[in-house]
Copies of this chain bind each other. A is one copy, B any other.
Amino acid sequence: MARVTSADVAREAGVSRTTVSYVLNDTPGASVSRVTRERIRETATRLGYAPSAAARTLRRGRSDLVVAVLPDWPTGSVVDTLLDHLTDVLATRGLFVLVHHHRDSRSLADLWRAVTPHTVVGLAPFAPDDLRTMQRAGIRVVGTAQNADETSFDVAQRGIGALQAEHLVAAGHTRIAYARPDDPRLGRFADGRLAGVRAACAAAALEVPAAVPVPAGEPAAAAVAAWRDAGVTAVAAYNDDVALAVLAGAAAHGLRVPDELAVIGVDDAPAGRVAAPPLTTVAQPVAQQSEHLAASVLAAIDGADAPPWPDDPALVVARGSA
């Protein structure tokens, strides 16, 4: 069974391909009689005509496809929400979003041999080579500062870390430690958040916190013992899973939380909300972030200026642990 083309529809409906194209694309300014219109549509449906995306793209020089490039690391619900919203917003412009999970080790160049995207949205920074290839291929790139090596996401990470530290400082802690994840793929995130914690501590004239790796899913008994011996009274954790591991470590040593050790996470994960004590955490206002991403992409497509990053994107949810 050969593919059904617009020529088949035209022949069957007794018109030219031109008319078929006009009708099926609702080309403005094309005036085709009502009955012809109906007949063409009916014929297309009956034959099961599906236009060739490749031919369309080749002819128009641009596709309706937006590729979102995600980093390799486990992304979670925030990114899901972001993409969901982006998909909705772009759908109103007739654009489709497809997601590519990118391994840093591999070049993106080969991907453009398989697809001709309208626009590429980067949620991770691109390698300079990749950026150059895309620019040369005339692909529009959004979501990452094109010349700086820092994305708005990096900035957001720093803000999150700062918020954690400021909360701890405000509660009177003076010796703060940082619990970072041991998954190397999370490094870039962790570095950003840690930088924020350190900046806030420095601003409060406190000693700069040391970072110790705390694997999620194992009680952090050793780390907690070391902190206790060093006089640390509060720890900022990379995320809620890491914070929960710290909580378990404290329990193992009979340390009372938050009196003897305060703990703050990031994510506002369900597990933290039902921990004992309930975990204090930093929540990201996903709705706001989603709006911003979608607006940035739209602006880029329209050649407008990018909207400013919202002022105060994250917030502390104070519960029992800090």
- Tell me the nearest residue of chain B to A110, going by C-beta: B96
Complex contacts, A245 vs chain B, CB 8 Å: 270, 274
- Tell me the nearest residue of chain B to A269, going by C-beta: B271
Complex contacts, A91 vs chain B, CB 8 Å: 106
Q: State the majority secondary structure of interface residues on A.
A: mixed
Minimum C-beta distance from A214 to chain B (A): 11
Minimum C-beta distance from A117 to chain B (A): 9
Q: Which of B50, B98, B270 interacts with A133 by CB under 8 Å?
A: B50
Q: Does A34 contact B (CB under 8 A)?
A: no
Minimum C-beta distance from A12 to chain B (A): 15
Q: Does A114 contact B (CB under 8 A)?
A: yes
Q: Known contacts A269-B271, A270-B216, A274-B217: does B115 contact A98 (CB below 8 Å)?
A: yes
A57-71 interface with B by 8 A CB criterion? 57-58, 61, 63-65, 67
Q: Which of B1, B58, B219 interacts with A58 by CB under 8 Å?
A: B58
Q: Known contacts A96-B110, A98-B115, A112-B53: does B244 contact A270 (CB below 8 Å)?
A: yes
Complex contacts, A114 vs chain B, CB 8 Å: 53, 63-65, 95-96
State the copy count for this chain. Answer: 2
A136 CA to B100 CA, complexed, in Å: 26
B53 touches A55 (CB 8 A): no
Q: Does A241 contact B (CB under 8 A)?
A: yes
A75-128 interface with B by 8 A CB criterion? 75-77, 80, 83-84, 87, 91, 95-101, 106, 109-116
Complex contacts, A271 vs chain B, CB 8 Å: 217, 240-241, 244, 269, 271-272, 275
A54 touches B116 (CB 8 A): yes
B96 touches A98 (CB 8 A): no
Complex contacts, A240 vs chain B, CB 8 Å: 271
* Residues of A bordering B, CB below 8 Å: 1, 3-4, 48, 50-58, 61, 63-65, 67, 72, 74-77, 80, 83-84, 87, 91, 95-101, 106, 109-116, 132-133, 136-138, 216-219, 240-241, 244-245, 247-248, 251, 269-276
